[in-house]
Chain A
């Protein structure tokens, strides 16, 4: 397996997302188990209501945040394996031409599961390092008996070993599927024709190119939308959390949201740049100005990111409303929740500035691609 510096950066990105998922889930699952152990000792009514609320909140958080992050890791890993096979088609094609089966070659891809193992281990350790503070915040009013942080060994299986095995299996499966092509096709670097471009009528060249760039890589379009969704939902949710929960919660959600948004956006945009290097080189050779080149390739993602932002806004409002109405109903001292326009405004301004800055940076990267290197 030929893993270079660039590959390591992408694998590190997958590890970071996995780390976030395991961190959140370990924190809540371990806390819920410890809380359940002392559940019988909680006598006051206020304590019982808070107990139920925290148990429900834990389940919702694990399912929504953890599930979302795990799904993202899976999409990123599958996407990464696919790109890896495309980029190393010649080397892999030689192995196939020599008579190795696709499953035999794909078996070596289990090593990509190591990035997930590293992320899981890091997330698990970080969660336990943070856990005493988390327990103190959760029981700030002293309604529960004192709880010591205990390690529940079952979590090692569910949070570290099982995900690592599953992701290693996913990497092997994706690679085997992608390698199910004739050896000559891999050797020649011929791309699979997996989509039939839609008829584009009489659209001018640049508009048609922008449209087909989006259609050709649907996963990239999804990831760009998803990163905007994460940014929007998590920043607004965290800003509301300062009033509704605690600063600790707010910072945690903000950090996870920003990491997730940043990692997915960087990974997807760098893939866009790489996938379109040849097109850009040819356009520049013909005399298309830099602005037209980057706009044709990157411009189509802008509306998608705004859609992601809007959906994220609606999602976080719906989720918080649901939690405050049903989960924390009856808990004393909980403020009423209404849509946070201040959070929306701040998030919107930040998003526009950061997103445009990143797009600008990638436009520069596109325009700096050397014509000669790309063509040769």
Chain B
């Protein structure tokens, strides 16, 4: 369970102060597929960063699996991320000088997971393991990034606009991989997106605007090939 109470976060100071999160209260149950939906600048990426331990809130409480994150030191937050979370980003952030296999080992070695080959097969990249990221399409790179995140056996997978840089067909394929892997591994998935159609895949849809939660609703739990685009 991820639980947030009264979370605020600002950037800058003085006249340049921007309040990005303004007292967010939120609960995300284990094993759920939650989508945080909002326009650009609504604070959804900052919310994801705070939930995942990439950033600390200015005020309020963030609890993940019973552990309070707001008071942790940098070292403790690193240890938390190591054992609990995986990330998928819009820009992939693969290491360009390492092969697909080595990029996945970045996650696998961290968790002592010897079965990174199986994950590569699961995301449909078994035959690309010796390729370099620059030799892959955008969709393939994103699938490598998903495999890298899953190889570290996280409890929660955070995805920030994972289809933002992809075309419709490739985007659907990537979402399908994520949905299948979530079911197979029993993960909690939290995805940030501005695409309302993608929200139809979720169990829960959290809508944000101007740093506040506007509302929460049940999603459509549809497959990646049933939703609009």
Is there contact, CB below 8 Å, between A289 and B97?
no
Known: A289-B75, A375-B89. A209 touches B95 (CB 8 A): yes
CB closest chain-B residue, reference A376: B45
Residue from B49, B55, B87, B134 within 8 A of A286 (CB atoms): B87
Is there contact, CB below 8 Å, between A289 and B78?
yes
Binds A, one of B32-40, B103-111, B182-190: B103-111
As a 0/1 sequence over residues 78 to 89 of chain B, the CB contacts with chain A under 8 angstroms (1 = contact) are: 111111011101
Binds B, one of A64-72, A117-125, A129-137, A277-285: A277-285
Is there a chain A Cβ closer than 8 Å to B118's Cβ? no
Known: A204-B109, A216-B97, A278-B93. A285 touches B54 (CB 8 A): yes
Chain B residues with CB under 8 Å of A216's CB are: 97
Is there contact, CB below 8 Å, between A287 and B110?
yes
CA distance A213 to B95 in the complex (A): 11
Is there a chain A Cβ closer than 8 Å to B143's Cβ? no
Distance in Å: Cβ of A115 to nearest Cβ of chain B:
31
Known: A285-B54, A286-B152. A206 touches B49 (CB 8 A): no
Chain A residues with CB under 8 Å of B107's CB are: 286
Is there a chain A Cβ closer than 8 Å to B1's Cβ? no
Residue from B80, B108, B134 within 8 A of A193 (CB atoms): B134
Is there contact, CB below 8 Å, between B93 and A375?
yes
Interface size on B, residues (CB 8 A): 31
CA distance A282 to B54 in the complex (A): 11
CA distance A73 to B89 in the complex (A): 41
Is there contact, CB below 8 Å, between A205 and B89?
no
Is there a chain B Cβ closer than 8 Å to A290's Cβ? yes
Is there contact, CB below 8 Å, between B79 and A287?
yes
Known: A287-B83, A288-B78. A205 touches B97 (CB 8 A): no
Q: For chain A, what secondary structure do more than half of its interface residues adopt (helix, strand, loop), or is it mixed? A: helix
Is there contact, CB below 8 Å, between A371 and B98?
no
Distance in Å: Cβ of B103 to nearest Cβ of chain A:
8
Chain B residues with CB under 8 Å of A286's CB are: 81-82, 86-87, 106-107, 110, 152
Chain B residues with CB under 8 Å of A283's CB are: 106
As a 0/1 sequence over residues 118 to 157 of chain B, the CB contacts with chain A under 8 angstroms (1 = contact) are: 0000000000000010100000000000000000100000
CB closest chain-B residue, reference A287: B82
Known: A193-B134, A197-B97, A372-B55. A290 touches B102 (CB 8 A): no
Is there contact, CB below 8 Å, between B98 and A212?
yes
Is there a chain B Cβ closer than 8 Å to A200's Cβ? yes
CA distance A205 to B78 in the complex (A): 18
Known: A204-B109, A205-B109. A285 touches B87 (CB 8 A): yes
Chain A residues with CB under 8 Å of B93's CB are: 278, 281-282, 375
User: What are 29 A-to-B residue pairs whose CB atoms are below 8 Å?
Assistant: A193-B134, A197-B97, A200-B99, A200-B102, A203-B102, A204-B105, A205-B109, A206-B109, A208-B102, A209-B95, A209-B98, A209-B102, A279-B95, A281-B93, A282-B93, A282-B106, A284-B78, A285-B54, A285-B87, A286-B82, A286-B152, A287-B78, A287-B80, A287-B83, A287-B152, A288-B78, A289-B82, A372-B54, A372-B55
Contacts beyond the supplied A205-B109, A286-B106, A289-B79: 20 A-B pairs with Cβ under 8 Å: A197-B99, A197-B132, A204-B105, A205-B98, A206-B109, A208-B98, A209-B98, A215-B97, A282-B106, A283-B106, A284-B78, A286-B81, A286-B82, A286-B152, A287-B78, A287-B82, A288-B78, A289-B78, A371-B54, A371-B55
